[in-house]
Amino acid sequence: MNGNVSPEPFRIRSLTVSVYLPTFLFAVGQGAVIPVMPLYAIELGASPAFAGFLVALRGIGTMAFDIPAGIMVSRLGERWTMLIATAVLFIVAVGIALAPHPLVLAPLVFVMGCTWAIWMLARLSYATDVSPLDQRGRVLSLIGGSNRIGNFAGPFLGAALAAVIGTDAAFYLQALLALAAALLIFAVVRETGAETAPAATAHPVLGVLRDHAGIFATAGLASLAIQVLRSSRQAVIPLWGDRIGLDAAQVSVIFGLSSALDMTLFYPVGIVMDRWGRKFAGVPCLLFMALGMLLVPLSGSYLTLLLASLLVSFGNGLGSGINMTLGSDFSPAAGRGEFLGAWRLVTDLGTAGGPLLVSAIIGVGSLAAASVVTGGIGLAGAAVLAFLVPEPLRRHRAAATAPGTAPGA
């Protein structure tokens, strides 16, 4: 015996308590409060316009803090960054529940968006550090699945609490779930050590962007297209349902069935990404979503709109975790936090820009044109991903087998 001990092989289930359960808790809390946020503001005396502004303000907070969140990860480490995010969210949620006036909500909702950016960035960086490349697709698709299931369950819990106790109860639920997530992270998560050296804490964001401009101009654009499609469908499909005479209940059923299909695909997609490559999930994701959006203006009944929506959701399900995986694969070991912060900003711009694009096209054209344009963006994104983006899995495997070289992160 030489005393050497082989390291334990990585097992995905080892992340259950450190990553997946906190992700689920965080998502349930977010899902519980997002639908009731404008109603709560109106209860406090806000106008409908101000209530709508609060919904947008959360997204603005997320985008505003994407890059600062990456810097936090580099300087404080993933564990402490996640703890800060969950602790601040607890304080913010309690503050919203106790708010005496709607104007008090604005800064609190903005900070809530900031905590979401911090949490997602730190969680992605941690998962990237601890997961080997050949299992990373499954690791990150499971994160995406945990998030989707939590966001699906959250509104039902929030609605039940609002009906039985009051609208503010949803925010107390969010606070309790954030506290539970913080306790899990404190007890289980340990720093990976990937960015703890003093020299590794100073990576100018502009320098990171310059060094990886080609990746942002290709893979970043494909990820942007995915987010534009994801957010645009949430505006186009209900509006088209109204156009063809469907009521709110019918549109809700369409969204519910589509979400159920979406949530069934995340683990098989992770297997596809790890066995055959990221493009085998990303390109079909964009193609199916684009095709569904192109078919929406051709639908004239409940059934045909449902089928088009299911096609979009099938494509979205094929992309479960794809943006996180691409960002993780292309992120450098040095400056990972800053890279992922910029990557998150690109995808968040797509999330915010999709509905704005739809609104602008409707203003100068028509709803049908908006659906066709977003479908065209999906087709363009699929072409970019298929022909201009190097397959990360193949690139890393080639680097790993090349003599005298080490694979990138």
pLDDT at 406 (0 to 100): 39
Residues 216 and 291 in one domain: yes
- Say which amino acid occupies 288: F
Pair 135, 238 in one domain: no
Does residue 91 sit in the same domain as residue 177? yes
Do residues 124 and 215 share a domain? Answer: no
DSSP characters over 123-136: HHHHHHHHS-HHHH
Out of 176, 202, 228, a domain closes at 202
- pLDDT tens profile 54-83: 888 888 899 999 999 999 998 899 999 999
State residue 143's pLDDT score.
93
Domain boundary among 149, 179, 202: 202
Range of the domain at 331: 207-400
Q: Is 280 a member of any domain?
A: yes
Last residue of a domain, one of 147, 167, 202: 202
CA distance 367 to 377: 16
Nearest to 162 by CA among 149, 172, 152, 147: 172
Same-domain check for residues 165 and 212? no
Residue 199 binned pLDDT confidence (cut-offs 50, 70, 90): very low
Task: Judge contact between 175 and 90, C-beta under 8 A.
Answer: yes
168 with 214, same domain: the answer is no
Phi, psi values for residue 273, rounded to 5°: -60, -40
Q: The domain spanning residue 238 has which CATH number?
A: 1.20.1250.20
Predicted confidence (pLDDT) per residue in 315-373, tens digit:
999 999 999 999 999 998 888 889 999 999 999 999 888 888 888 999 888 999 999 99
Mean pLDDT value of segment 265-281: 93
More confident position, 47 or 383? 383
Same domain, residue pair 161 and 104: yes
Average pLDDT estimate for 165-189: 93
Statement to judge: residues 278 and 359 lie in one domain: yes
Q: In this structure, are 86 and 175 located in the same domain?
A: yes
Res. 397 pLDDT band, cuts 50 70 90: low
Question: What pLDDT sits at residue 396?
Answer: 61
Residues 251 and 395 in one domain: yes
**What number is the average pLDDT over the span 99-121?**
93
Q: Are residues 315 and 365 in the same domain?
A: yes
Looking at the fold, whether 148 and 262 belong to one and the same domain comes out as no
pLDDT value at position 395? 61
Tell me whether residue 405 is in a domain: no
Assigned domain for 55 exists: yes
Q: What is the pLDDT of residue 203?
A: 67
For 328, residues 6+ apart whose C-beta sits below 8 A from its C-beta are 124, 127, 128, 136, 140, 340, 409
Domain count, the chain: 2
Question: Is residue 148 in a domain?
Answer: yes
Asked, for residue 117, whether it belongs to a domain, the answer is yes
